[in-house]
Amino acid sequence: MNAVNHYRQAQFLLGAQQLRQLPADAGIEIAFAGRSNAGKSSALNTITAIKGLARTSKTPGRTQQINLFGLDEGRRLVDLPGYGYAKVPPAIKEHWRKTLEQYFNTRRCLRGLILLMDVRHPLTEFDQIMLNWCRHRNMPVHVLLTKADKLKRGPASAALQQVRRILASYPEASVQLFSAHDGQGVEEARALLDRWFGYGADATEGSATEG
Mean pLDDT of 151-165: 97
Within-domain flag for 106? yes
Beta strand residue intervals within the chain, DSSP E: 11-16, 28-34, 66-70, 75-79, 110-118, 141-146, 173-177
SS3 118: strand
Q: What percent of the chain has pLDDT over 90?
A: 75
- The residue that leads in pLDDT, 95 or 186, is 186
Domain count for the chain: 1
Per the structure, the complete domain to which residue 28 belongs is given by: 7-71+81-197
Distance CA 170, CA 112 (A): 13
Q: Report whether pLDDT(87) > 80.
A: no
pLDDT of residue 206: 39
> Which CATH number belongs to the domain containing residue 15 in this structure?
3.40.50.300
Within-domain flag for 204? no
pLDDT in tens, 182-208: 999 999 999 999 999 999 744 444 344
Length of the chain: 211
Distance CA 45, CA 186 (A): 11
Distance CA 211, CA 6 (A): 21
Within-domain flag for 21? yes
